[in-house]
Amino acid sequence: MKLIFNSYRPFKIACSSCGLFLLALSFCFTGFGQSPVIKTEADTTQIRIGEQIQLKITVEADSAAQVIFPEGQTFSPLETVEAFKTDTNRVNDRMILQKIYALTQFDSGQYVVPIQRIEIDGAGYFTDSLMVAVGTVPVDTTTQKMYDIKPLIQVEKNNTAFWIKLLVSILVLGLLGWIIYRVFFKKKPLTQEEKEAILPPYDRALMELKRLENSRYLIQDEYKKYYSELTAIVRAYLEEEVHISALESTTQQLIEKIELLKDAGELNLEEDTINQFNKILQTADLVKFAKSKPPTNVAENDRLVLEQIVTKTHEAIPEPDEEELMQREEYLLELARQKRKKKRRQYGIAALIVVLLSLGSLAVYMGPQNFWDTVSGNPTKKLLEKDWVSSTYGFPPISLESPEVLLREYKELSAEEKEKIREQHIFEYSNPDALFKIGTKSTVLAQPEEPDYEKTLEQVLKDLGEAGARNLITKQEEFTTQTGVKGIKVYGRGTFSLPESNESERGQYAIYLFGGNGFQQVIVLTWQDDDPYAEEIIDRIQNSLEVKTEA
């Protein structure tokens, strides 16, 4: 069954002569503009609880007209389930727009779909109202057996997610440990150069002289390179073993330094050995600077002589005395201290890398914002994640879940209030760090009368203002608890004063008003704006909220 309502009705002409004139005039100007036509069409006016009706609004207007359909829950007391996309058609110079709304209701009764305002080029046009009957679903208890509620069944907790997380964590930490071990602690095999570098000066000098013997310098007639490397090996040895500046000294200066050490008794070399060394150094100078070229056998013999000089020099160094041994021991202790310091630095860097990588992995796993709020100790996150308390407050009772228990507040009633109020119970919880507050007030009236919600709301807003709230934006809607108790919800945003401070912060509030014959219940919530954890707390409190319908 479809019902069609046409909200556009042409007016009647009072005077026939005038009517004929206007009719003729309308034919003349038909092409210049016509009034919009609005039709309301419903597929049915009788549904059962939870079923839907399809309400179609059709607007016929000029092709250039701007049409705005109603949005949101404007069909109350029916609930808008879905607003479908607007369908547009054109017929000549006219535009036909159709929009379908799916509506439903979960309580039986007769309901009127209210008049809807359609805005066309800034002007308002209205649809017709519609009566809808919502019936209950019949239950046949003669053919359908009734069964008791089944008992609770113990279900084992599924720990699959936990074991997966644990395995991933172990793998990540194992990989980090392996990388740190490879980078910082595993001893890498020494290269040939490193092995030679850690040899004693005497052994290293002999090895380098043997390597020079097997070189191809003399075969390739490269005497300059041969003698340069030959003298450099011996000079480096003297500098390390005898502790004289041999590499930067000329031949004469080096011989003078050796003779001084000999005279001082610090180097027991024979004079003949010093003269041989001086002669080879002079030959090397001639080769390097005068382009002299000694016979090959002389060059080879010079290498053998220097090898013997290195050995004699090594043997000529006297044994260190007690002071030198002490200095050497201090030197070794200093080396050990530096080595330990280097190890500690490596351990510190490794630990820092482990911590940073662990924190980074945790941040990726938890999400950057959630991770930061956890590390910084976000107060509303702490409230959300702690063990909540489910309790009943006052009389008539108000039941809700909250992060903390609400504490009783005592307020002295004025003489005027005592005439209207028989008893009153106030409970509050406030967290200044989270800018979060919960308050409940249960009132038993002195007379069996309906509560004045407007006056109560005015008093609550006044109390918020005295607490420092400013520029409160107020919205109102009907609120229904999980058990079907209906009340009023007033909510909005504003500026709230920070505790013990002259500063203020943007925040939100919600006021829930319930009541009946001779009693009233009020719940007030305030929290910081743009706080996702506070929003979750408010949703949880709101979903747990229950009140009695009579005192």
CATH superfamily, domain 3-135, is Immunoglobulins (2.60.40.10)
The third-level CATH classification (topology) of the domain covering 193-316 is Four Helix Bundle (Hemerythrin (Met), subunit A) (1.20.120)
- What pLDDT digit, counting tens, does each position of 490-503 carry? 998 888 887 777 77
> Which pairs from 461-468 meet CB under 8 Å and 24+ separation?
464/494, 464/509, 464/524, 464/526, 467/496, 467/497, 468/496, 468/497, 468/504
CATH 3.40.1000.10 at 379-547, yes or no: yes
How much is the pLDDT for 53?
92
CA 281, 240, 299: angle at the middle one, nearest 5?
25
Nearest 10 degrees: CA dihedral of 337, 341, 342, 343?
Answer: 100
Output the pTM of the full model.
Answer: 0.43
pLDDT digits (tens, 9 = 90+) for 427-445: 999 888 778 899 999 888 8
pLDDT value for 29: 40
pLDDT at residue 138, as a whole number = 67
- For the chain, the structural domain boundaries read 3-135, 193-316, 319-376, 379-547
In this prediction, the residues of the chain whose per-residue pLDDT falls under 70 are: 1-33, 138-147, 155-159, 162, 184-190, 192, 194, 196, 319-325, 327-328, 361-363, 365-366, 368-369, 376-377, 549-551
What confidence score (pLDDT) does residue 190 get? 64
Separation between Cα atoms, residue 332 and residue 375, nearest integer Å: 46
Q: Give the type of residue at 468.
A: G
Task: Report the C-alpha gap between 517 and 384 in whole angstroms.
Answer: 36
Please list the residues that pair with 438 across neighbouring strands.
429, 525
Which pLDDT score, from 0 to 100, does residue 24 have? 42
How many other CB atoms are found less than 10 A from the CB of residue 373?
A: 18
Give the residue ranges of DSSP H helices in 65-220.
Answer: 160-180, 192-197, 201-213
